[in-house]
């Protein structure tokens, strides 16, 4: 679809790549779950001595923030894929409508 000078959309390509986001979202969710399991289920990798406890105090807050962000990433990727897919459908519809209007205009004259 061409929307004027300097703007063009390949709706088929956009739709095809939008479908890839579901797999990316699933992969991100698995990575986040695996990382969370490693950090929560195993022994503290920094140890239990004073130095390890000091490290834990500095590490656990940022670590939790990163795990939270990774958890949100999966949903964000899925949402982005849905939005790209919807946009591709909208562009296809607009192209079909415009082609119909041009065809109608040509047959009216």
Residue in 88, 86, 109, 90 with CA at minimum distance from that of residue 98: 90
Q: Domain residue spans in the chain?
A: 11-108
CATH number for the 11-108 domain, one of 2.40.10, 1.10.287, 3.30.200, 3.30.70?
Answer: 1.10.287
Per-residue pLDDT, 81: 96
pLDDT band at 6 (very low <50, low <70, confident <90, very high): low
pTM score > 0.75 for this model?
A: no
Look at residue 1 and tell me whether its pLDDT is greater than 80.
Answer: no
Q: For 8-37, what is the mean pLDDT? A: 93
């Amino acid at each position: 679809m061409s929307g004027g000078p300097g703007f063009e959309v390949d709706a088929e390509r956009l739709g095809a790549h939008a479908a890839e986001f579901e797999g990316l979202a699933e992969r991100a969710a698995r990575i986040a779950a695996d990382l969370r399991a490693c950090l929560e289920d195993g022994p503290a990798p920094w140890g239990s001595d004073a130095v390890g406890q000091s490290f834990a105090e500095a590490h656990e807050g940022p670590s939790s923030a990163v795990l939270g962000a990774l958890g949100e990433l999966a949903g964000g990727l899925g949402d982005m894929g849905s939005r790209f897919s919807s946009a591709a459908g909208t562009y296809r519809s607009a192209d079909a409508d415009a082609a119909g209007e041009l065809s109608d205009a040509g047959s009216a004259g």
